[in-house]
Amino acid sequence: MPLSAASQTIASPREHILTVQEALEPLFLALEQEVEVKMIAAAVRAGWSAKDAVAAIDELRRHELVADVTSH
């Protein structure tokens, strides 16, 4: 069974990381990828095509970005 991205370690300040963002970025990207794979798999199990699932995820992200911009 593959390890979840959540089980990865985060670099400590002693590892010469410039910011906490740089330390967390690999974990953030791994979690984002893991979530997308799980969403696509769930959509495919429900009978949707992977292409439709990816398009829906992209649309959700665009909607989220627009909502963030308009809320500030």
CA distance 32 to 37: 9
Please, are residues 43 and 62 in contact by the beta-carbon 8 Å criterion? no
CA distance 50 to 36: 11
Domain boundaries, the chain: 20-70
Print pLDDT tens along the chain (72 aa).
455 665 677 777 777 767 888 889 999 999 999 999 999 999 999 999 999 999 999 999 999 888 888 887
Residue 27's alpha-carbon distances to 9, 36, 40, 51, 66, in angstroms, are 8, 14, 20, 26, 25
Q: What does the pLDDT read at residue 7?
A: 66
Q: Is the pTM of this model over 0.85?
A: no
Q: How many angstroms separate the first and last alpha carbons of the chain?
A: 42
